[in-house]
Structures are given as structure tokens and as C-alpha cells.
Structure 1
Amino acid sequence: MTKKVLVVDDESAIVSAIAYALRREGYEVDTAGDGEEALRKVQSFHPNVMVLDVMMPKLSGYDVARKLEDRDDIGIILLTVKNDIVDKIIGLELGADDYMTKPFEIRELLARIKALLRRLEKHSGETQRGTLDYGALKVYPDRRTAELDGEVLELTPKEYDLLLLLLSHPQRVYTRDELLEQVWDIGYAGGTRTVDIHIQRLRKKLGEPYQNVLQTVYGVGYRSVPAGASS
């Protein structure tokens, strides 16, 4: 099935160049010139991936990403003119999967879109995994949901992916760079703070005593430890 890419930018020359390159690669492409139009196109076009500029009229790329935070079926690549770590972390925390700083090579963008589509397909193929049972904490990969004491946890797609990865490999220690690469599918030097923030949010949602399932390995990263197991 042909993959769909929605290109969103208020600079028509950039939109035209990206759309042309994508169509040559066989993608179905639609475009939007501002954030409000982008959200309408999401409903009508149903893209697999959005290439989304940050600085736009009406709604910024951040605002669009925030409104789509719970849509784990859409991959988002942010475009920004700022090569600033804080801006990039904000985008990743809002649910974006990758980012590129303008100006950029179209070939690199195409490679990142392909990599993102592979990751989305990998997540959609998780149905072969069985339920992960940590006592009252249960994760259901076939439904991409987690429950605690029978109540569904309200997790963002990235929070869910992070929890699933750690619980799937109990006691294995992951560095922050490994988690960033496997959950966000990017290698981002200096951006590991976003991992810490997502772990903090997960612990808050899990509450006592299950927040202790996600343990910090100081100076290294994180691991999951089943409730009642020795650390």
C-alpha cells in the first residue's frame, strides 16, 4: 500500500521541493500551509507521516503536535530553523518522532521518513507479544494499552513505548541514549533529558508502589524490576 506523507510549511518553495522528491519516491503526498489546515488534512488525508514546520501562522508545529499527541498511527518529523536543544526537546516531549534543522538535504529527509515508517510498522506488528504481567500492572501489546488494578492508564504513545520496552526486558539496564534511539528512533546527543522527563511522568502515573518498577541506575540509565524483586 502506498504510504501517505503530509508536508506542512508556510514556505511554498520548501513544500514544493519536498513534495516533488516524495512523489518521485512513490509516496502519495498532500500539503498544507498552516497548522489549522494541517489538522483538517489529517482528518481527510489520513497521512502515515507528517513533515511539520515549527514556525507557522495560526497554529505552530508544536501546537499541531500537541493536538496529535495521542495519535500513535502518525509519525511526525519537525522542521526548525533553530539549532537549539531546548526547542528540540520540547518537540520530542510533545510526541514528535524526529526533527531536522533548516537548511537540510532532501535526501536525508527521505532517509528519515523511511526509517520512521519502518519503526511505525514495527510497532503495528507487536501483536505477537503476550501480555506483560507485573502483578496489578499489565501491558497489552496487541491493544497498545496498559492497566493498573484493572484501570486503563492514560499514556501518551511515547510513554507507552518506553514502558513496553523496559518491561519487555526486566533487569536489563538501558542507557538514556539507547532509550532515545529505540523509542524515538533517533540518535540525539544532548537530548537525553527528554527520557528523564518521560520516566518521571510514567512514575507519577504508576504511583506507589509501582513507580518503583522503573529504577534509575545512577550514572547509566534505567531498568525495570518486577515488584518484589531485589534490586
Structure 2
Amino acid sequence: MAVDEAGAALRALVVEDEMDLAQIVVSYLDRAGFDVEHVIDGLVAVERARVIDPRVVVLDLGLPSLDGIEVCRRLRTFSDAYVVMLTARSDEVDTLVGLGVGADDYVTKPFSPRELTARVQAMLRRPRVEQEGRPQNILQIGDLLIDLDAREVHVAGAAIHLTRTEFDVLAALAARPSAVLSRQQLIDDVWGLGWVGDPHLIDTHVGHLRRKLGDDAAVGRYIRTARGVGYRMGAGR
């Protein structure tokens, strides 16, 4: 059974207006031990998320009232739930836009409900990055401060709100500040070994991190690009 830190069943919110597909997804998550609620409307999804505080949201892109992108954007104003976006369109623009508002992963229809469930469970089992030799688990790069235990980030004293995935990507980079990490290394650190998906997913999350941290990609104040390889941390001017 999927349980939280208190031992209670984890809540999952499925937002999908294709009833046959929704019933299958709900069934798989239910069998995996989640306390699942299903809604078909975007506005209702935002309202229910405020009430039930889900750990995971499986979110279709095309919905009545509000599309999945707007639902995700609103969720991110009050929730750090893991969000898996479902889309019937496989072109890159939709994928990047969806992830740009804070989705953690995406699945293109048709998909295997078993694979979707495995991805959700993998997110919940993510390893947490730790730094050797720092008992307080505080990482610092210039005026960027990362508290691994509290999962808090500050830039020049100002608190920065990150999603779970954004924090995990940043922590993975900051744990080895002098090393260039490939996209695949970051995928392994954040999503775990065996994750199947597009490794360029990392590029989108790095772009989102840079925006929130006020980090110009051309300057690389905190996150620097190693062309053709991946990324590394480093305090720039």
C-alpha cells in the first residue's frame, strides 16, 4: 500500500474526462494502494485539490472548463503534488508548455496504465540527495542556499518556491558542484534507475529553475550548461 509519513494511504487525484480511460487509471492506482478521487472538469479539479491535498495528480491536457495546463498552473500556487500530464498530442510544444507550468512528468496516449502506475510509484520512491561532511545538510553556491532537510531554497535571503521535482534536480546538481552531470545522470539521481522517458525532460526543469532563481542561462550564475553533455553548478558573477 502507498502510504505517507504518518502511515495513511496516499491520495491521488485523477483528472480525466474520457471515462473508460479514467476508470482504468483509477483501478490501477487503487490496487497500488492509493486513495483515489476522480473528476472530469478542470475547475472542479482545482477545488478538490485544495480540499484533499493529493500527493499525486494525474492530469489530462484536454479538459472542460480549464485545460490541463491552466489547472497545473493554478495547482502550483498552493500545491507541490507530483503532477503527471496526459496528452493525446505528442508534439514537443505541448509537452514543453505542459512541463513549463510545473508538471513533473508526461505520458502520451495511448499508454499502459501499468507503466503510468510504475512511474507514479517511482516518483514517490525518489532518493533524496545528501551531501557528505555537512551535518546540517545545507548546500551553498554563492548566495544560493539549499536546505536539504527542510527542502527550502533561498536566494540572497529570499525564499524561492520550487516544486518537488525542481528541488530534486537542483539538489542533485548542488550535491556535486564541481562535476558536470549528464542528462542521464540527473535522470538517474532524480527519477531513479530504470526510468523510461525523454532525458531532455531535464532541460525543461533546468529552464524552469533558472527562471525562478533569476539565473540567466548566458551567464550561468548558479547552473551552467556543458554543451553536448549536461549541467553543473557553480557560482558565477
Q: Shorter-normalised TM-score: what interval? A: 0.7 to 0.9
CA drift of 1:91 comes to: 1.6
User: Given the alignment of the two structures, is residue 12 of structure 1 paired with residue 16 of structure 2, yes or no?
Assistant: no
CA RMSD of aligned residues (A): 3.0
2:225 aligned residue: 216
CA drift of 1:105 comes to: 1.7
User: Given the alignment of the two structures, is residue 143 of structure 1 paired with residue 153 of structure 2, yes or no?
Assistant: no
Q: Partner letter of residue 101 of structure 1? A: T
Which whole-Å CA distance do the structure 1 matches of 2:80 and 2:200 have between them? 27
1:75 aligned residue: 82
> Which moved further from structure 2: 59-68 or 129-138?
129-138
Kindly report which structure 2 residues correspond to 1:182-193, keeping only aligned pairs within 5 A, or say none: 182-183=189-190, 187-189=197-199, 191=201, 193=203
1:104 aligned residue: 111
Contact 2:86 2:107 in 1 (8 A): yes
Aligned equivalent of 1:31, options 30, 34, 38: 38
Contact 1:6 1:49 in 2 (8 A): yes
Which whole-Å CA distance do the structure 2 matches of 1:50 and 1:124 have between them? 24
1:154 to 1:103, Cα distance in 2 relative to 1, 3 A = closer
Unaligned runs of 5+ in 1: none
Q: Partner letter of residue 69 of structure 1? A: R
Aligned equivalent of 2:207, options 188, 197, 222: 197
Which whole-Å CA distance do the structure 1 matches of 2:29 and 2:147 have between them? 35
1:114 to 1:201, Cα distance in 2 relative to 1, 3 A = same
Q: Partner letter of residue 56 of structure 1? A: L
Q: Partner letter of residue 68 of structure 1? A: L
CA drift of 1:65 comes to: 0.9
CA drift of 1:13 comes to: 1.7
2:4 aligned residue: none
Q: Partner letter of residue 221 of structure 2? A: N
| Amino-acid identity (%) | 35
Which whole-Å CA distance do the structure 1 matches of 2:108 and 2:82 have between them? 17
Normalising by structure 2, what TM-score? 0.79
Which whole-Å CA distance do the structure 2 matches of 1:215 and 1:113 have between them? 30
Q: Partner letter of residue 136 of structure 1? A: D
Q: Partner letter of residue 31 of structure 1? A: H
Contact 1:47 1:74 in 2 (8 A): yes
> Which moved further from structure 2: 96-105 or 160-169?
160-169
Which whole-Å CA distance do the structure 1 matches of 2:26 and 2:74 have between them? 24
1:93 aligned residue: 100
Contact 1:85 1:190 in 2 (8 A): no
CA drift of 1:176 comes to: 2.9
Structure with the largest fraction of helix: 1
Number of positions where the alignment pairs a residue of Structure 1 with one of Structure 2? 222
